[in-house]
Structure 1
Amino acid sequence: MSDLGNYDAQSELFQALRTDEELASLAIGGFHNLVAEQDSPFPRVVYSEINNVPSGHADNEESRATVNFQVSIFTDSQTVMHEKAMTKAIDRIMKSLEYGKYDSENLFETDTGLYHKPLRYEKNFYGGNE
Structure 2
Amino acid sequence: MIDLKPEIRQALLNNAALVSLLGGSKVWPEVAPDTVVEPYITFFEITNFDDLYLDDSAATSEIHFQIDIWAKGNTATIAKEVDKTMKSIGFARTSAADLYENDTKTYHKAMRFKTYRMIEGVLA
TM (normalized to structure 2)? 0.90
More helix by share: 1
Alignment of 1:27-106 (within 5 A): 27-28=22-23, 30-76=26-72, 80-81=73-74, 83-106=75-98
Distance in 2, Cα, partners of 1:72 & 1:65: 23
Partner of 1:23: 18
CA apart distance, 1:51 = 0.9
1:126: Cα distance to partner?
Answer: 2.2
Q: Aligned equivalents of 1:109 and 1:49: distance in 2?
A: 21
1:39-84 Cα shifts (integer Å, max 9, x gaps) = 10110001111111111211121101000010010001xxx14x11
Per-residue deviation, 1:21 = 0.4
- Structure 2: gaps spanning 5 or more residues: none
CA RMSD of aligned residues (A): 1.4
Aligned partners of 2:29 and 2:95: how far apart in 1? Answer: 19
Which residue does the alignment assign to 2:6? 11
Matched with 2:113 is 121
What TM-score do the two structures reach when normalised by structure 1?
Answer: 0.86
Between the aligned partners of 1:59 and 1:50, the Cα distance in structure 2 is 27
% same residue: 27
Counterparts of 2:43 and 2:50, CA distance in 1: 21
- 1 CA distance for matches of 2:79 and 2:65? 14
Runs of 4+ in 1 over 3 A off after TM superposition: none
Aligned residues of 1:28 and 1:41 also touching (Cα < 8 A): no
> Structure 1: which 5+ runs fail to align?
none
Per-residue deviation, 1:16: 0.1
Question: How much does 1:8 deviate?
Answer: 3.0
Instruction: For 1:28 and 1:53, locate their aligned partners in 2 and report how far apart those are by CA, in whole Å.
Output: 35
Q: Secondary structure at the match of 1:16?
A: helix
